[in-house]
Structure 1
Amino acid sequence: MQCTPPFQYEPDSISHIRLRSIALPLTTAVSDAKVLTGRQKPLSEVALLIAEIQTAQGVTGMGFTYTLRTGGTAQFAFAQEVAPLLLGEDPNDISRLWSKLAWAGASVGRSGVTTQAIAAFDTALWDLKARRAGLPLSKLLGAQRDKVRCYNTSGGYLQASVGEMLERAEQSLARGIGGIKMKVGHPDRKLDLSRVEAMRRQLGDAVPLMVDVNQQWDRTTAMRMGQALDALGLEWIEEPLDAYDVKGHAQLAEALITPIGTGEMLVSAAEVNRYVEAEAVDVLMHDAPRIGGITPFLKVATQAENRGMILAPHFVMEIHLHLAAAYEHQAWVEHFEWLEPAFNERLEIADGYMRVPNRPGLGLTPHDQLKQWTVADVTFR
């Protein structure tokens, strides 16, 4: 019997890196509670930082990060500074390269803008690794499922009237989306309750309904509103308090029937882990681009998995679908159509679930129309 020679790994190296800064417009500007309280302006575009990495062997990977309202210029500037540090490196050494880039920017911090910029490179390296293996990213990570429950948020912002909000919810359900999330946080709490009650009547008890406060309640208001909302059978109450109030979230999670979720505004794995270690929420909602990419996301998810937490990552369904599919326990992905113009492909949605694409890597390629929204474009080699 002839033996097959053992596989020999052939080292590869990063030869080209392309960075693009994109100002992707929204069809309609939207407002959440942070706008009503005067803390922010309506959101009219998403700032994308796209990184495309190519190796000497001709394998490519694409990743991206983002910011809302401000910070896109800073992300792009930092990415330009550290991108040359990846040239000549083995693209398979993802964890080591993450640390290399993080320490390169340590003087300005290993969280926030720096790690958000690193997320574009990190995601591109994971995409590249999965493409090299000929696997969807979820399969490379060890998929638990090939589809994930999904809910829509983009139709439930506060600038929409009740009628507009209900119409958008019905459109989402008709498209196959399984749940609806709506924004709350009006100064008039009775108005919040009436809008949620109207949505519950429209949807019925069987459709999962979530609310998102965007950090605009104090502890007393959150407890009172949470008790009132307990009667409506919500899937969760999201960000009822300031994102850094671990103790306050823990108190709400202990006292209320409705599950409590948070995590999207945290900007490092260490910050998210404070919630996990304290078991201060029921639903963990960390965001891969915001905490530095897939590498730190997975480290946090492992800790949450050990505690049986529900996973519902914030935004960027294009990335989080794969990560949620590899999570052991109940998971959700958040449907936003905002980034769809950036890519050639569309995600398949049916019967309340978003299906993981069979294409290698993330299964995405940048659309040519990005040219019209490109703010800056630079290549390193």
Structure 2
Amino acid sequence: MRITAIRDVVAPIKSDIANAWIDFSTMTVSVVAVVTDLVVDGRPVVGLGFNSNGRYAPQGLLRERFIPRLLAAAPEDIQGEDGLIDPHRAWAAMMKNEKPGGHGERSVAVGVLDMALWDALAKAKGVPLWRLLADRYRGGDADARAWVYAAGGYYYPGKGLDALKDEMRSYLDRGYSTVKMKVGLVPLEEDIARIEAVLSVLGGDGSRLCVDVNGRFTLEEAIRFGRAVAPYGLRWYEEPVDPLDCLAHAALATTYDGSLATGENLFSHQDARNLIRHGGLRPDRDILQFDPALSYGLVEYLRTLEVLRSHGWSPRRCVPHGGHQFALNIAVGLGLGGNESYPDVFAPFGGFADAVPVEDSRVAMPDVPGIGFEAKNALYAVMRPLERE
């Protein structure tokens, strides 16, 4: 199995929404297709991938460094013993001559290609990625369904409390029982009113609501906000301070007894290890949101899971950011705690296969070879031109 071409394109996912830190008026993603010479069922195997929302398309890095390195690698250097492309060996080829540290935008570029390589490998074997992962790493034990929650509640021009409640009702109508909303952009009193509006839709059950600050608060602001929302018993309080400020996380954890969630903006197993060592997080209640599509891909995510295990953390405490099918396959195949979902935003990259219903915030996986992009029509329409070029 050899790579014959790698194609990429930049796709827009711009919208008028905003969180506490950024708006999405110019947001983009990179989409790649890794074309191989292996033919299955009369068609060449093509692996497809893209990066999660929140980080812009890394096209320059892809074209200048990582795609050329992958194409230049000797076929035998990136193949496994079965003759198929081995994502671990391909990862090593892509990272050749890269210094340690600096886990920023390059992790996104490598993650895009890593996603496509795992998609190609699973297609070559004729199995869904979740099945491949369960067989390889869990003795065949795959979760029957994955827990998912609906992420929304963004700030939007002219969007008042009634519109916010209507949005959350629409998620409940589509089978979600747990939802997430953005906070931190407006004064505390306004956010409390927004939270109480959403809780009124959820029957007052705070365990069905997550709130996300996107790293906006200082420690003092995070403590003040935490004290204000503590009586609601929220599912979790997400990314309250800067994601790299471990000391602030540790200090907040001494004052907030509820669940904290963070990690979506940490992109390596080394960063994850620092968070676990120094961030004061608690393995009995807190949530880790490392996104494999942004953090060098699944090859690196496996290293991150090993770091967590060595420090007493269960994979069930991991609920990846991103709301994409790649992380959903990983959650089911590797036994994570669940996955984010974007029912309405970042289309067509958010959400799952078209025929997959959400029932009580849980989804089952389709039996589609690879990651399953072909079962999501709007997304596959973006990818298909690269596949057939």
> What TM-score range do you get, normalising by the shorter chain?
0.7 to 0.9
Alignment gaps of 5+ in structure 2: 135-140
Aligned equivalent of 2:189: 190
- Is the aligned partner of 1:65 residue 2:51? yes
Q: What SS does structure 1 have at the residue aligned with 2:49?
A: strand
From the superposition, tell whether residues 176 and 231 of structure 1 become closer, same or farther in structure 2 (CA, over 3 Å): same
In structure 2, give the amino acid aligned to 1:25.
I
In structure 2, distance between residues paired with 1:316 and 1:55? 31
Deviation, 1:379, is: 10
From the superposition, tell whether residues 67 and 194 of structure 1 become closer, same or farther in structure 2 (CA, over 3 Å): closer
The answer to whether the Cα contact below 8 Å between 2:147 and 2:361 also exists between their aligned partners in 1 is: yes
Alignment gaps of 5+ in structure 1: 1-12, 36-40
Which of 21, 34, 43 pairs up with 1:34? 21
Deviation per CA, 1:181-233, whole angstroms, max 9, x where unpaired? 00000341111111111211221244610000011111111112112111111
Aligned equivalent of 2:234: 234
In structure 2, distance between residues paired with 1:338 and 1:126? 25
Aligned equivalent of 2:90: 97
Please say which of residues 322-331 and 128-137 is displaced more in the overlay. 322-331
Identity in percent = 23
The answer to whether the Cα contact below 8 Å between 1:180 and 1:210 also exists between their aligned partners in 2 is: yes
From the superposition, tell whether residues 17 and 342 of structure 1 become closer, same or farther in structure 2 (CA, over 3 Å): farther
In structure 2, give the amino acid aligned to 1:162.
L
- Is the aligned partner of 1:321 residue 2:299? no
- Is the aligned partner of 1:153 residue 2:134? no
In structure 1, distance between residues paired with 2:258 and 2:60? 38
Aligned equivalent of 2:178: 179
Please say which of residues 135-144 and 107-116 is displaced more in the overlay. 107-116
In structure 1, distance between residues paired with 2:266 and 2:148? 22
Which of 99, 117, 129 pairs up with 2:109? 117
Deviation, 1:168, is: 0.8
Structure with greater strand share of residues: 1
TM-score (norm 1): 0.83
Q: What SS does structure 1 have at the residue aligned with 2:294?
A: helix
From the superposition, tell whether residues 115 and 45 of structure 1 become closer, same or farther in structure 2 (CA, over 3 Å): closer
The number of residue pairs the alignment matches comes to: 358
- Is the aligned partner of 1:215 residue 2:215? yes
The answer to whether the Cα contact below 8 Å between 1:49 and 1:75 also exists between their aligned partners in 2 is: no
Aligned equivalent of 1:3: none
From the superposition, tell whether residues 129 and 337 of structure 1 become closer, same or farther in structure 2 (CA, over 3 Å): farther
From the superposition, tell whether residues 356 and 251 of structure 1 become closer, same or farther in structure 2 (CA, over 3 Å): farther
From the superposition, tell whether residues 198 and 328 of structure 1 become closer, same or farther in structure 2 (CA, over 3 Å): same
- Is the aligned partner of 1:21 residue 2:12? no
Aligned equivalent of 1:301: 305
In structure 1, distance between residues paired with 2:170 and 2:204? 18
In structure 2, distance between residues paired with 1:131 and 1:249? 41
TM-score (norm 2): 0.82
The answer to whether the Cα contact below 8 Å between 1:21 and 1:76 also exists between their aligned partners in 2 is: no
In structure 1, distance between residues paired with 2:345 and 2:223? 33
Which of 294, 305, 311 pairs up with 2:318? 311
Aligned equivalent of 2:34: 52
Please say which of residues 106-115 and 89-98 is displaced more in the overlay. 106-115
In structure 2, distance between residues paired with 1:69 and 1:321? 19
In structure 1, distance between residues paired with 2:298 and 2:13? 26
Aligned equivalent of 1:7: none
Deviation per CA, 1:306-364, whole angstroms, max 9, x where unpaired? 41361111114211111111344633333344455369942432221122221112111
In structure 1, distance between residues paired with 2:287 and 2:233? 15
In structure 1, distance between residues paired with 2:244 and 2:176? 31
Q: CA RMSD in A?
A: 3.0
From the superposition, tell whether residues 19 and 157 of structure 1 become closer, same or farther in structure 2 (CA, over 3 Å): farther
In structure 2, distance between residues paired with 1:235 and 1:242? 20
The answer to whether the Cα contact below 8 Å between 1:158 and 1:184 also exists between their aligned partners in 2 is: no
In structure 2, distance between residues paired with 1:176 and 1:317? 17
Deviation, 1:96, is: 2.2
Aligned equivalent of 2:138: none
Deviation, 1:154, is: 2.9
In structure 2, distance between residues paired with 1:181 and 1:329? 19
The answer to whether the Cα contact below 8 Å between 2:153 and 2:182 also exists between their aligned partners in 1 is: no
In structure 2, distance between residues paired with 1:31 and 1:340? 15
Deviation per CA, 1:283-303, whole angstroms, max 9, x where unpaired? 100111211111111221233
From the superposition, tell whether residues 328 and 341 of structure 1 become closer, same or farther in structure 2 (CA, over 3 Å): closer
Aligned equivalent of 1:10: none
Aligned equivalent of 2:367: 358
